[in-house]
Chains A and B, each alone.
Chain A
Amino acid sequence: AIQLTQSPSSLSASVGDRVTITCRASHDISTTLVWYQQKSGKAPKFLIYDASSLESGVPSRFSGSGSGTDFTLTITSLQPEDFATYFCQHFYDYPLTFGGGTKVQIK
């Protein structure tokens, strides 16, 4: 099974900061990577598909990049509503594993 390793597991940032989260796959998964945002007690929200395409309705301050084994999620100018946990997931083959998550906290 393909494993996804996210880093860091948590970070502290201020409103207006630029934040970068990485996701590394154990095998080449091309661009079959997606990102979600999850707030406490809520279902995940779909942010990015195909590694770098923004889902409809998602603010443009979110962006994704990468292919193969190394991927990043970037939030430019962090907003108060962006404090949440972020997960990557691959769709290369089954099982569809998730990364361990990155909690973005207020500094």
Chain B
Amino acid sequence: EVQLSESGGGLVQPGGSLRLSCAASGFAISSYAMSWVRQAPGKGLEWVSAIGGSGPGTYYADSVRGRFTISRDTSNNTLYLHMNSLRAEDTAVYYCAKRVSVLRSGFDSWGQGTLVTVSS
């Protein structure tokens, strides 16, 4: 069974840093494109970042480019999101999501989310 479990959220001051983790089980993250998606309180979904399945490509929303870095550790099957220079508008629940496959669109598996609150 495919499972994703995020951790690492919490309260951080503006300008601070945080690292989110997404532990995967039931599949190898090295074989699938993975993304981070966030949802601010009471708002819609916002795609944040992706890392390619087989290749090294990484992609970012304009709102986080230069501040956030996506990475993965295939030895422990974990996806990460390193977040620097955090702003109040980064406050959201952050989900990790697995793309169905290279040829098929869609995120078919999601974690439960981890809340990041940026406030002084």
Q: Which residues of B contact A32 (CB under 8 A)?
A: 105
When the two chains form their complex, are residues A97 and B47 in contact, meaning their CB atoms are under 8 A apart? yes
Contact of A34 among B37, B44, B59, B105 (CB under 8 A): B105
Which residue among B44, B95, B110 has the maximum number of chain A CB atoms within 10 Å of its CB? B44
Whole-angstrom distance between the Cβ of B25 and the nearest chain A Cβ = 16
Give the number of residue pairs across the A-B interface with Cβ within 8 Å.
58
Range class of the B interface residue count:
20 to 34
| Interface residue A100 (Cβ < 8 Å from any Cβ of B) | yes
Contact of A95 among B44, B45, B61, B100 (CB under 8 A): B61
> Given A34-B105, A46-B108, A49-B104, 9 other A-B contacts at CB below 8 A?
A38-B45, A43-B110, A43-B111, A46-B106, A49-B106, A94-B59, A95-B59, A98-B44, A101-B44
A-B contact pairs, 13 of them (CB 8 A): A44-B45, A44-B107, A46-B100, A49-B100, A55-B108, A87-B45, A89-B107, A91-B105, A95-B47, A95-B59, A98-B45, A99-B44, A100-B44
